[in-house]
Amino acid sequence: MGPKSTDLKELARLLPKAELHLHIEGTLEPELMFELAQKNRVKLPYKSTEEARRAYNFSDLQDFLNIYYNAMKSLVTETDFYDLTMAYIRRVALQGLVHAEIFFDPQAHLSRGVSFKTVVSGIHRALEDAKGRYGISSYLIMCFLRDQSAESAMDVLQEAKKYKPWIKAVGMDSKELGNPPHKFTTVFEDARNSGFLAVAHAGEEAPAEYIWEALDLLKISRIDHGYHMFEDPKLVERVAKERIPVTACPISSVGVNYFKRIEDVPIRKMLDLGIVATINSDDPAYFKGYLAENYAAVIDGLQLRKDEVVKLAKNSIEASFLPNAEKGTHIKMVDKILIENS
């Protein structure tokens, strides 16, 4: 008999893992949001943290995005971004996280008069401290908001170039349907020519065609969400054959009503097809689940086996942008912990 699901969830928590799909603004818990809003004299649309949490019940992606952008108004100073990032790190340090590749949305702050420097400096300083205090390594991924113009994306890219040593890659998020990747072909080309790697949210709510475009036009190294790939067997074959990693976010994909239940999230299907599938948390403060809770949800929902859980943890390391030597060290540690817990 295999291990009980409680044991498997505990093992999943212990195993070294990377988080590859995490919006730092999506880690803003209501308590910190209220604290910062009060300090910065920003008015929130809720009377209490309980009321905020009750409002986190979304009909679709846009419904979530409206609430997410509104809450960000409480983030104003460099220290606010430091505190936000450090609060996230403190939580996941207890969940076996060894490496994080973290999205941030500068355009959502620039539009409120908060500078690129304020945002990136606060996040970066916290990530440096995280390395020293908890041994957690990280890369930053700057996302373009795809519901804004290509010109606006190009402007923010010029800002990002000034902080190139701090930013590993560019990504693309926000409202997907109606904002296809081809809108940003030139922006991504400029970014890649400047040495940024590229990822993109694709096939979260839009058809498989958006994933083809993200691969062929934006030349992304990883697909964020990617659920709609299953509409197109040729695309699935390519993603598996070329080992293009997919960052699935089980709890959020149910939270925006793409899937009805966790049982419907195609994690086992991806693994069975040889796809480099990974488990991630997206916006944990809003969808109520950090990395360990996302693993626990799929372990319960899909009745995952131990070998599948181990594969997911190893995939998260393999799919990261870490140098091969560091990937090797983490994978060896996964094997060591498996032996110690067998």
Which residues in the 213-272 window bind ligand ADE by CB under 6 A? 252
According to the binding rule CB under 5 A, does residue 282 interact with Zn ion? yes
Name which of ligand ADE, Zn ion, none residue 204 binds, using a CB cut-off of 5 to 8 Å depending on partner kind.
Answer: ligand ADE
d(CA 215, CA 232): 14
Name which of Zn ion, ligand ADE, none residue 146 binds, using a CB cut-off of 5 to 8 Å depending on partner kind.
Answer: none
Nearer to Zn ion among residue 201 and residue 327 (C-beta): 201
Minimum CB–partner distance for residue 257 and ligand ADE (Å): 12
Nearer to ligand ADE among residue 66 and residue 303 (C-beta): 66
Minimum CB–partner distance for residue 188 and ligand ADE (Å): 17
Near ligand ADE by CB under 6 A: residue from 80, 101, 159, 173:
173
Near ligand ADE by CB under 6 A: residue from 138, 174, 179, 315:
174
According to the binding rule CB under 6 A, does residue 327 interact with ligand ADE? no
Minimum CB–partner distance for residue 64 and ligand ADE (Å): 7
According to the binding rule CB under 6 A, does residue 101 interact with ligand ADE? no
Whether 326 is catalytic: no
Please pick, among 25, 204, 213, 308, the residue that the annotation labels catalytic.
204
According to the binding rule CB under 6 A, does residue 19 interact with ligand ADE? no
Q: Which residues of this chain interact with Zn ion, rule CB under 5 A?
A: 282
Residue numbers annotated as active site: 204
Q: Which residues of this chain interact with ligand ADE, rule CB under 6 A?
A: 23, 26, 61, 68, 173-174, 201, 204, 252, 282-283
